[in-house]
Amino acid sequence: MTDVTGAPADVLHTLFHSDQGGHEQVVLCQDRASGLKAVIAIHSTALGPALGGTRFYPYATEAEAVADALNLARGMSYKNAMAGLDHGGGKAVIIGDPDRDKSEDLLLAYGRMVASLGGRYVTACDVGTYVADMDVVARECRWTTGRSPENGGAGDSSVLTAFGVYQGMRASAQHLWGDPSLRGRKVGIAGVGKVGHHLVKHLREEGAEVVVTDVRTDAVQRILEQYPAGVTAVADTAALIRVEGLDIYAPCALGGALNDDSVPVLTAKVVCGAANNQLAHPGVEKDLADRGILYAPDYVVNAGGVIQVADELHGFDFDRCRTKAAKIFDTTLAIFARAKEDGIPPAAAADRIAEQRMAEARAGRIAH
């Protein structure tokens, strides 16, 4: 999957004519009273109502916001398909600085916009929006998930996201070393925020050695205090990816971690982490494969969060969700097998499997 750029002509051309487009519906929303400017993109409803979060971000241009909505919505179609959810892909972006521009009125206006789609798009949290915001949106829109437990929601999704990434690591170990155990393996985590710190817990419980880094010293300090043994810290990500004897590298901060600078110097044999859009540009997946590094596709292993928000729509049940998130182990193994069979990198194999599932759903719909 490559990305759409931000120029208006490019965006429209992509939407109507390229393989990166083909979105079913793109809605521009405005409420001048509250200052709301939003874009809701529904990429596909082949598998069911489109599901994806709301990003609240100070885009430099409005065209950039539309391009981001298109890319993110398409990404959600693949993620939801691979997670085995009966949901298509969609995403919304609200243009603005969440710290300055977010207000109750704006969120309520946004809720009315989502509600006007009558359930074709279900929203949730993303960068810049939180559980408390979804509680407000939900007052106007019943197609809202990612709410607080007090309001019938499942709360923070990072617990199951970390659990899913951990399952992806176990599957990678099984594929590469013939044993899913991570005991004695050295795992480097870049970013010990909400997901990263839960991941440390799983790894330590299994007896892995963990190396962490984060731009926030307080986040690192918290981990080192919590785990006096088996966890060390390095100064930054540049140092982490060069740690001698590293078995697994887990990017758990921002996107673009795998790029022309980092891939040539990675010491790890496996990359498996929570961050979205880890591959900085098309072709990086091949560079990883050429170096013999096994890449567990980001959108496959970080699907625990979306599994949780999808479950919330049916009345949240943690155990049911955990069972679904545990299947990330089998899904990741299936992707590695398909990659080997087709002679392609795992990222391309994941795309193929997801596309197949969506095509089958569309064909089934036509047949009926």
E strands, the chain, where? 25-31, 36-44, 50-51, 54-57, 88-95, 121-122, 186-190, 209-213, 231-233, 248-251, 270-271, 294-295
Range 132-161, binding ligand NAD (CB under 6 A) = 157-158, 161
* Alpha-carbon dihedral angle through residues 187, 180, 200, 98, given to the nearest 10 degrees: 90
For the CB of residue 160, give the shortest distance to ligand NAD in the complex, in Å. 7
β-pair type (50-51, 25-31): unpaired
37 catalytic residue (yes or no):
no
Among 253, 294, 347, 358, binds ligand NAD (CB under 6 A): 253
DSSP letter string, 182-239: -TT-EEEEE--SHHHHHHHHHHHHTT-EEEEE-S-HHHHHHHHHH-SSSEEE-SSHHH
Which is closer to ligand NAD, CB of 196 or CB of 346?
Answer: 196
Cβ–Cβ under 8 Å, residues 248 and 269? yes
Main-chain phi, psi angles of 232, to 5 degrees: -125, 165
Q: What is the rounded CA–CA span in Å between residue 249 and residue 29?
A: 40
114 is in an annotated binding site: no
187 is in an annotated binding site: no
192 is in an annotated binding site: yes
For the CB of residue 190, give the shortest distance to ligand NAD in the complex, in Å. 5
Question: Which listed range, 133-141, 212-220, 287-295, 319-327, lies at the site for ligand NAD (CB under 6 A)?
Answer: 212-220
Interaction pattern, residues 98-137, with ligand NAD; x per rule: CB under 6 A? ----------------------------------------
Question: Which listed range, 26-34, 145-153, 223-231, 246-254, lies at the site for ligand NAD (CB under 6 A)?
Answer: 246-254
The residue type found at 332 is T
230 is in an annotated binding site: no
Among 35, 148, 276, 313, binds ligand NAD (CB under 6 A): 276
For the CB of residue 11, give the shortest distance to ligand NAD in the complex, in Å. 23
Enter the DSSP assignment of 66. H
Enter the DSSP assignment of 149. G
Among 28, 132, 215, 224, binds ligand NAD (CB under 6 A): 215
Residues that bind ligand NAD (CB under 6 A): 157-158, 161, 190-196, 213-216, 219, 237, 252-254, 274-276, 302, 305
Residue numbers in the known binding site are: 191-196
Residue numbers in the known binding site for NAD(+) are: 191-196
